[in-house]
Amino acid sequence: MHVMRMLFAVSVLLIASTVAGCAGGGPNPFTAPASNGSDSGYEDVRLTVENRDFRDATIYAYWNTSRRRVGFVVGKTSRTFQMRWLAEEVQLEVDFVGRGGFRSETMPVSPGDHLSFLIMPTQSVESASEVGNE
């Protein structure tokens, strides 16, 4: 009986320490602090995508030559993303689920900007959607 209590106590202790270890969050020690004083640890740009097309779309941002996935927008919805500011210009790409997509014109962007990106129905590869800074 004494051995059972000891095993039970050890099991509870292991579970508690595992949960405590998993709960510890915190800032990424490898991310440089922002020069603009934001608490996020880097400089941000917000992007609101309004998808008026019925197709779901994955959004990518091209910072210089680096392509980064921004997120996913379901058809006929809008979504706001926050992304790290990496360069003076950005270009957005829409990749529709199934097939098709397009890339926007290159646009200037600064830390703290909020970009609005409109995906029109039946957008084709040759055309670009309305993109603007707020």
Which option is the CATH number for 44-133: 2.60.40.10, 3.10.20.740, 2.60.40.2890, 1.20.950.20? 2.60.40.2890
Report d(CA 31, CA 28) in Å as an integer: 6
Q: So where are the chain's domains?
A: 44-133
Higher confidence at residue 131 or residue 75?
A: 75
- Strands (DSSP E) along the chain, which ranges? 44-51, 57-63, 66-73, 77-84, 89-96, 101-103, 107-108, 114-119, 130-133
Q: Which two tokens stand for residue 58?
A: 């994955």
Percent of the chain with pLDDT strictly greater than 70: 60
pLDDT score, position 122: 76
Type of residue at 21: G
Type of residue at 104: S
Q: Indicate if the pLDDT at residue 129 is higher than 50.
A: no
Q: Indicate if the pLDDT at residue 22 is higher than 90.
A: no
pLDDT in tens, 71-80: 999 999 999 9
